[in-house]
Structure 1
């Protein structure tokens, strides 16, 4: 369920970002571009925690 909600909120926020930036530069809103960016951002969000180390840092 957490994967669904991550995708849901990422999708909504990326669509909002695509709309606002498109309006600022004077282009029309494109759902396809926002959807592709949302899927890419969601995959990136899923992969980042796998790459980052989870071990505690020892003090030197």
Structure 2
């Protein structure tokens, strides 16, 4: 379930950022490019969360 929510949030946030930045620059908004970047971002978060960051346990 956490993977599904990560993908949804990555897609929403990347599309929002692309839309706002393209509007500020007066450029063209590309839904496809923003979606691809969102998927790449979600894969990066999966790798970072599963392999990169370890929980520190104190005894």
What is the TM-score of this pair, normalised by structure 1? 0.83
Give the deviation of 1:26 after TM superposition: 1.0
Structure 1 outlier segments of 4+, above 6 Å: none
What is the TM-score of this pair, normalised by structure 2? 0.84
RMSD: 1.4
Aligned to 2:10: 10
Structure 1 segment 1-60 matched on structure 2, within 5 A: 1-49=1-49, 50-56=51-57
Structure 1: any 5+ residue segments left out of the alignment?
none
Structure with the greater alpha carbon radius of gyration: 1
